[in-house]
Structure 1
Amino acid sequence: MAHSSRLVVYAALAANVGIAIAKFIAAAVSGSSAMLSEGVHSLVDSINEVLLLHGLRRSQRRPDRQHPLGFGRELYFWSFIVALLVLALGAGFSLYEGVNHILSPDPLRDPTLNYVVLAVGVLFEGTSWWLSLKSVQRKKGKLGYFEAFRGTKDPTTFSVLFEDSAALVGLAIAAVGVYLSHALGDPRIDGWASIGIAVVLALASVMLARESKALLIGEPAHPHLLADVCGIAGKVEGVEAVNGVLTVQVGPDHVLVALSAAFDDRLTTVEIEQCVRTIEARTKEAKLPIVALFIKPQTPESWRERLRELDGES
């Protein structure tokens, strides 16, 4: 999964660096506010991809004594920073540039280079978008796109997909703004196009920030993991009942699991410990993405009482 995510991010980074340079040149030649906003947009996206790669690398480090649950949440942290950068730098600059261009309109010069750069931008951004879309399709399974986005535990690919989608919409807005501004002789339209780009970036930023925040705070693992753990524990001799499981996603491939189980009353402490070791060994054999497994001997009544407490706290 990490290799696939890196490939998508590298593709987006390569596209954004080249496009950003071309957009800045086109903006300088034509004096287009929308093209300048798009250049900043691509530059911010390039910085974001670097941060995501940094987060991916750090999240793969092995657990140690100071970090027994691993470093998976590093990726969630950097994904949140990426969302803030899109809002603060990308949307903020585009809004400022658009308002400034409306208040102090500067007639566009020859827009030909703008159209060439926009066409090349669509080609490169479209290729990056297609690669990220294919990666998302492989991961989402039978889920819808929005449902998969809300339930994803690896924000990397979806972050790139959102960035590329926002980039394509931004390119379309810039193209319309440049054309109408030049055709109608009204440079303020170019400024309004820049504000439109700011709105697109702000919406993408809010959605990414919301999902990253949920992952940082702590989301439960996918339901199928809960079913797998309960199924493994329920087949161990000496376990009378599996009461339930509490999980927290602490990284794309790192899950903290707390299992409540009722053991045979005739078992000794040593025998219960052996049951626990058997459960741990079988979850490892199943290659489940569990970074820590805690098993609590508990009666069903005590488990239900705990659930009532959680329901009351929420």
Structure 2
Amino acid sequence: MSVEGSTKAVVTALGANLGIAVTKFVAYLLTSSSSMLAESIHSVADSSNQALLLIGGKRAARSATPEHPFGYGRERYIYAFIVSIVLFSAGGLFALYEGWHKISDPHPITSWHWVPIAVLLVAIVLESMALRTAVKESNAVRGSAGWVQFIRRSKSPELPVILLEDTGALAGLLFALAGVGLTLATGDGIWDGLGTAAIGVLLVVIAFVLATEVKSLLIGESAGPEQISAIERAIVAGDDVPSVIHMRTLHLGPDELLVAAKIAIDVADDAYQVAAAINGAEDRIRQAVPIARLIYLEPDILRRP
């Protein structure tokens, strides 16, 4: 996963959301539309999330220490998990509350009728541009995987998070546009409340999906099937290692993989030959899968039938 591509998508989304948040809040002050208030909070939450992703990426780049000998790569997962919590609490729950409040006490938009429509249309354009950047950067790394597969299997959290956030933001804007438009057309403020509630449900669902996927990364995921096959082929590519008895892999971060394997050696090999076999296998693994930074190979006697 390209760190530069992830950072570009995050920075693009952050810039768009900061500008959109201010514009939406001004529109809310002029019209008292609950959809505009919910969307303002949504954009503030998204902006906070993108700032958190940038902080997580910076902190994850720190070098290993005696206290943390495997480094800080998982900080990116921790901050991505915090993002899902922020999106759920600050975005989704607030929008649900505001929607319920507006449905309980509906009132029409009586002034500055054109403002929310204009703001939402401009926001849709800006969010579409941010989503386009996220899609472009994701296409560069997802290969032949479908979008659902990419989000579920990606070891780097930033692009899946931005993809879901930007998609949710665009859908939320459409809900808000529908709610505000129907309120202006009918004079019934309940449509504004329903649009707000729809935004809340959408954000809660996205937050749940994000939390589930990032939790799996925090617990610890193995390398992908292609990388596992490449490592196994690399180990036995030389004449010094006949076979792999068993192997385990673990992502310490998106760009750092731990490989632990028990490899077979011939009973006739001496200590020098065993050491040379291990060193040769490690070199081949690193060439085949460059993110395999930590490699532990344990030799065992090959038991011939």
Query: TM-score by structure 1 length?
Result: 0.92
Query: In the alignment, what sits opposite 1:230?
Result: 232
Counterpart-to-counterpart distance in 2, 1:269 and 1:300: 15
Structure 1 residue 68: deviation in Å? 2.3
2:163 equivalent in structure 1: 161
> Does structure 2 conserve the Cα–Cα contact (< 8 Å) formed by 1:97 and 1:191?
yes
Task: Decide which of 295, 298, 306 is 2:297's aligned counterpart.
Answer: 295
2:188 — aligned with what? Answer: 186
| Whole-angstrom CA distance in 2 between matches of 1:268 and 1:64 | 35
Unmatched 5+ stretches in structure 2: none
1:306 corresponds in structure 2 to none
Letter in 1 for 2:260: A
1:148 corresponding residue in structure 2: 150
Equivalent in the alignment of 1:271: 273
Look up the equivalent residue of 2:63 and give its one-letter code. R
Contact 2:257 2:291 in 1 (8 A): yes
Q: Quote the residue 1:174 is aligned against.
A: 176
Q: Is the 8 A contact 2:107 2:189 kept in 1?
A: yes
| 1:223-278 deviation digits (Å, cap 9, x = unpaired) | 22212222221123332212232111121111111112110111123431222122
Structure 2 contact 266–302 (Cα < 8 Å) conserved: no
State the 1:42 CA deviation. 0.3
In 1, Cα distance between equivalents of 2:302 and 2:219: 28
Letter in 1 for 2:167: S
- Aligned twin of 2:127: 125
**2:92 aligned residue:** 91
What amino acid is aligned across from residue 23 of structure 2 in structure 1? A
Contact 2:16 2:127 in 1 (8 A): yes
TM-score of the aligned structures, taking structure 2 as reference length? 0.94
Contact 1:20 1:43 in 2 (8 A): yes
Tell me what 2:82 maps to: 81
Counterparts of 2:9 and 2:289, CA distance in 1: 25
Please give the alpha-carbon distance, in whole angstroms, between the structure 2 residues aligned to 1:300 and 1:88: 56
Q: Which residue of 1 aligns with 2:245?
A: 243
Residue in structure 2 matched with residue 309 of structure 1 by the alignment? none
State the one-letter code of the partner of 2:280.
T
Q: Which amino acid aligns with 2:38?
A: S
1:311 counterpart residue number: none
Shift, 1:48, TM fit = 0.2
Residues 70 and 291, structure 1, Cα contact 8 Å, conserved in 2: no
**C-alpha distance in structure 1 between counterparts of 2:289 and 2:247, whole Å:** 18
Structure 2 CA distance for aligned equivalents of residues 107 and 122 of structure 1: 23
Deviation at 1:281, TM superposition (A): 2.7
Equivalent AA in structure 2 for residue 31 of structure 1: S
Q: Is 1:18 paired with 2:16?
A: no
Q: Match of 2:260, SS?
A: strand
State the AA in 1 paired with 2:3. A
Partner Cα distance (2:44, 2:125) in 1: 17
Q: Structure 1 runs of 4+ off > 6 angstroms? A: none
| Structure-2 separation of matches of 1:281 and 1:144 | 33
CA separation in 1, counterparts of 2:240 and 2:108?
A: 81
For residues 298 and 54 of structure 1, what CA distance do their matches in structure 2 show? 44
Post-superposition offset of 1:287: 5.6
> CA RMSD, aligned part only?
1.5
Aligned length: 301
1:174-193 residue CA offsets vs partner (Å, 9 max, x unmatched): 01101111211111211111
Write out per-residue CA displacement over residues 124-178 of structure 1, whole angstroms, 9 at most, x where no aligned residue. 1000000101111111111111111111111101111110100011000001101
Is it true that 1:69 corresponds to 2:91 in the alignment?
A: no
What secondary structure sits across from 1:291 in the alignment?
strand
* Separation (CA, whole Å) in 2 of partners of 1:300 and 1:144: 41
Q: Name structure 1 gaps, 5 residues minimum.
A: 302-314
Cα–Cα, structure 1 residues 116 and 299, in superposed 2: closer, same or farther, change >3 Å?
farther
Letter in 2 for 1:61: R
* Percent of residue pairs bearing the same amino acid type: 34
CA contact 1:132–1:160 (8 Å) conserved in 2: yes
Matches of 1:298 and 1:111, distance apart in 2: 77
Separation of aligned partners in 1, 2:259 and 2:219: 16
For structure 1, which segment, 218-227 or 74-83, has the greater mean C-alpha deviation from structure 2 after superposition?
Answer: 218-227
Distance 1:56 1:213 in 2: 17
CA-CA distance at 1:286 after TM superposition:
4.2
Which residues of 2 match residues 49-60 of structure 1 at below 5 A?
A: 49-60=50-61
Shift of 1:290: 1.2
2:107 maps to: 106
